[in-house]
Copies of this chain bind each other. A is one copy, B any other.
């Protein structure tokens, strides 16, 4: 186990009854929230009302900004910055998926930065003062409500950049699994795939001594694969939604990665898809994952695939040839994502073959540090190889 620090001070309020603590929490951190949301689903699933009715009752003034898009854009961040300054908001209150939460994090981090926010998002300047954030997630996916990072896309230059800061971690989050009952099937599937990829990036590591972290990863694999199919088939299954929602938080908040440092190479490969084609993040990952697993497999690291096979699919590899068992794990992964209605190949989502070398080149530049610390060290050629396997 490597030396590490672990500090996750987000106060989680979980379950349908959680909003009883909302007003006290808002008052603890600010006086005037900016509510940030996306396309309006939060007005149908009850989340908007749960927040706004309580703010009005408590006579807490607030501002609103809707229209945040999936793969949130720099333009939304700039718009939010303007509202925060003009209306003197001192706390961000995103309601929705990771797009709304990531957008709010970047508004909180850049609102009082005098330079170009893109410089901070692309890590050219460090994060300074960050306004407090209270998140109300209504999708189970990226776990942004308990993480320090934000990913923002600049569409005019096909750039997608992620950065993080401890202060960008929400101070509190309110998770009502019932709000995810109306999450569309496609988003449910993509969300489950996203969370699985978060565990996978950490679990497939070369630090075998981070044993507890691997066991926690197996607990998350088991839960995500088990309930992912259940909520896909039965969207109002509370037990399933609750377990998926809570698992999504733990897949990203540091539990499986602290003491077990890894390069997030799969995400760098996927970010190029989203940047060039605006692909849903989890959909891109579901296609990249089996290809990445196939490319990375060696005789030496096959034991990780066996642990994954057992945890995710409850297949005991005892007595099996280890490489056969590893390939079985990959095939099972493909079958599982197919069972969630996710596309299997890059060609199925409109990626042009000619673009693979361009994306491989970009991924190798943007993802340089990630590639060299990955489970299997990658470069431009291996990135292209993985894209081809996924095509």
CA distance in complex: A242, B208 (Å): 13
Which residues of A from 334 to 368 have beta carbons under 8 Å from B?
Answer: none
Interchain CB contact under 8 A, B9 and A9: yes
Instruction: Using CB atoms, name the residue of chain B closest to A241.
Output: B1
- Which residues of chain B come closer than 8 Å to A14, judged between CB atoms? 1, 3-6, 258-259
Q: Which of A2, A21, A242, A258 has the most CB of B within 10 A?
A: A242
Cα(A227)–Cα(B212), bound, Å: 10
| Least CB distance, A253 to chain B, in whole angstroms | 11
Give the complex CA separation of A3 and B9 in angstroms.
19
Q: Which residues of B contact A17 (CB under 8 A)?
A: 3
A21 contacts across to B, CB distance below 8 A: 5
A18, B3: Cβ atoms closer than 8 Å:
yes
A239 at the interface (CB under 8 A from B): yes
Task: Judge if A294 is at the interface, Cβ distance under 8 Å.
Answer: no
**Given known contacts A6-B12, A7-B12, A1 and B243 CB-to-CB distance under 8 angstroms:** yes
Task: Tell yes or no: A247 within 8 A of B by CB.
Answer: yes
Q: Provide the bound-state CA to CA distance between A139 and B5, in Å.
A: 19
**A64 interface residue per 8 A CB criterion:** no
Nearest Cβ on chain B to A32's Cβ, whole angstroms: 24
A250 in contact (CB, < 8 A): yes
A56 to chain B, nearest CB (A): 24
A8: Cβ under 8 A from any B Cβ: yes
Cβ of A306 to closest chain B Cβ, rounded Å: 14
A259 cross-chain contacts in B, Cβ below 8 A = 14-15, 242, 246
Q: Which of A17, A216, A219 has the most CB of B within 10 A?
A: A219
Nearest B residue to A5, CB-CB: B13
Docked Cα-Cα span, A247 to B226, in Å, equals: 25
The size bracket of the interface on A is 35 or more
Query: Any chain B CB within 8 A of the CB of A222?
Result: yes
Q: Which chain B residues lie closer than 8 Å to A4 at the CB level?
A: 12, 14-15
Residues of B within 8 A of A9 (CB): 7-9
Interface residues of A in 230-272 (CB under 8 A from B): 239, 242-243, 246-247, 250, 258-259
Cβ contacts under 8 Å, A209 to chain B: 239, 242-243
With a cutoff of 8 Å between Cβ atoms, the chain B residues found around residue A16 in the complex are 3
Which of the residues B1, B11, B246 comes within 8 Å of A212, measured between beta carbons?
B246
Minimum distance in angstroms from A173 CB to a CB of chain B:
10
In angstroms, Cα B218 to Cα A246, docked, is 17
Bits for A189-220, please: 1 = Cβ < 8 Å to B, else 0: 00000000000000000000101100110111
**A138 contacts the other chain (CB 8 A):** no
Bound state CA distance, A34 and B219, in angstroms?
40
What 5 additional pairs, Cβ within 8 angstroms, besides A2-B15, A5-B13, A5-B14?
A5-B11, A211-B223, A211-B227, A212-B247, A215-B220
**A-B CB contact pairs (8 Å), 19 listed:** A1-B14, A1-B242, A3-B14, A5-B18, A5-B21, A6-B11, A6-B12, A6-B14, A7-B10, A7-B11, A9-B9, A14-B258, A14-B259, A212-B220, A212-B243, A212-B247, A212-B250, A215-B223, A219-B219
